Amino acid sequence: MIISTRRQELSLLYLTKGAMKLKLQTIEQLEEWMTKPSQALVEDMKKIEGDILILGVGGKMGPTLAKMAKRAINQAGVEKKVIGVSRFSNGSLREELESSGVETIAADLLNEEDLQNLPNAKNIIYMAGTKFGTKDNEHFTWAMNAYLPGRVAEKFKKSNIVSFSTGNVYPLTSVNKGECSEDHPVQPVGEYAQSCLGRERIFTYFSHKHQTPVLLFRLNYAIDMRYGVLLEIAKQVNAGTPIDLSMGQVNVIWQGDANEYAIRSLLHCSSPPKTLNITGPEKVSVRWIAQQFGERLNKPVQFINEEKDTALLNNASKAHQLFGYPRVTLASMIDWTADWISEGGAMYNKPTHFQEREGVF
């Protein structure tokens, strides 16, 4: 056991040092690093029984999560499938996943026939949902985020379910009095956040009803070079656009680390559900982030408004106790984002709206 632990520590040290020196300039380099499983994930994959079905694999995080899971399975030398379910409106994504060894099923989860035809996998990672475009389309948001989870929970009552959620279920809290831990009372602002709490409540109801093991995965904010809080701030600095400081502090986590935590969470599902906050260990100043990009991009930084005394901030110490600290540091993410901007890297047009204080998305 001591030898195994030491090997994991050395593996983590190697990966961390590698991250410090790494330069990400192409999508291929980005995906290679983002989907690289740690030895801890490989060891956990040996303990996860049965196939892994990812519902909503077509979102921002789903493709890299699926590829990471498949790479971990291969390295663990075990036999299990990773199956990704999506409408696959992007014509190339399905082929991309299948070329990585991920099986795919095209389905509209709101279509009852499509849902019932899905295989009864032992492990479900539930990533389906909607956020942006909620305003003026609230009925669809509630259908995706609160109605559909009930149908999924009935269909997969004998499975382990990791359900993606959001830190938006918490209220804005004082930046001087500590971040929200899992036992902090929820107080979602706006219909998107309310519907996400609805998703949690529905999965909790069916977990009690069927003794289904569930884990509620409250995430904010995942960082990929192609989208995320850091990219948005870097783009503004690079363009000379003033940075709004109204939401003066944020939490961030490398998307690869968040994906790994989600897969490993399959071993920690329970009834009643377990709740985990998922983010990095730092409470980060938006002003400081902008100044860091100003130095790296050699651009002056402008600000508007002043920092409020509240922000959306989560404490993820329980997740760090279970899984260890994130492998990728904040400084590395900032370096990589600056390089990505400088090299004209590909970007998604999917802003996080992390500055939003009224819950309107």
How high is the pLDDT of residue 71?
Answer: 98
Which carries the bigger pLDDT value, residue 116 or residue 349?
A: 116
Which carries the bigger pLDDT value, residue 69 or residue 17?
A: 69
How high is the pLDDT of residue 8?
Answer: 40
Residue 216 domain-assigned? yes
Residue 352 domain-assigned? no
Write out pLDDT tens, residues 234-276: 999 999 999 999 999 999 999 999 999 999 999 999 999 999 9
On whether the CB atoms of residues 259 and 219 are closer than 8 A, the answer is no
Please list the helix, strand and coil fractions of the chain in percent, rounded to the nearest 5, in that order.
45, 15, 40
Write out pLDDT tens, residues 139-158: 999 999 999 999 999 999 99
How high is the pLDDT of residue 21?
Answer: 61
Cβ-based neighbours of 217, under 8 Å, separated by 6 or more: 162, 163, 164, 165, 261, 262, 265, 276, 278
pLDDT at 211 over 90: yes
pLDDT at 12 over 70: no
CA distances from 27 to 65, 127, 175, 345 (A): 15, 23, 36, 8
Residue 19: band (very low, low, confident or very high) from pLDDT cuts 50, 70, 90: low
pLDDT at 3 over 70: no
Average predicted confidence (pLDDT) for the chain? 92
Distance CA 251, CA 232 (A): 14
Q: Which of 7-11, 16-20, 118-122, 128-132 has the lowest mean pLDDT?
A: 7-11
Distance CA 14, CA 235 (A): 31
Domain holding 316, by residue range, is: 25-224+253-279+312-327
Residue 12 domain-assigned? no
Domain count, the chain: 1
Which carries the bigger pLDDT value, residue 131 or residue 197?
A: 197
How high is the pLDDT of residue 79?
Answer: 97
How high is the pLDDT of residue 355?
Answer: 84
How high is the pLDDT of residue 42?
Answer: 98
Residue 114 domain-assigned? yes
Distance CA 286, CA 308 (A): 12
Furthest-apart CA atoms within the chain: distance in Å: 58
Tokens of 276: 């985990």
Distance CA 15, CA 119 (A): 36
Residue 181 domain-assigned? yes
How high is the pLDDT of residue 102?
Answer: 98
Residue 320: band (very low, low, confident or very high) from pLDDT cuts 50, 70, 90: very high
Task: Give the CATH number, domain containing residue 97.
Answer: 3.40.50.720
Strand partners, 262: none
How high is the pLDDT of residue 2?
Answer: 31
Tokens of 284: 């980060």
Residue 168 domain-assigned? yes
pLDDT at 190 over 60: yes
Write out pLDDT tens, residues 99-140: 999 999 999 999 999 999 999 999 999 999 987 666 778 999
Q: What is the mean pLDDT of residues 349-357?
A: 82
Write out pLDDT tens, residues 36-63: 999 999 999 999 999 999 999 999 999 9
Q: Among all chains, which residue has been given the structure tokens 């819950």?
A: 359
Tokens of 221: 């904010």
Residue 200 domain-assigned? yes
Q: Which of 40-49, 131-140, 308-317, 326-335 has the lowest mean pLDDT?
A: 131-140
Q: Among all chains, which residue has been given the structure tokens 């014509």?
A: 91
From the list 322, 315, 285, the residue with the least C-alpha distance to 301 is 285
Tokens of 235: 């783009």
Residue 235 domain-assigned? no
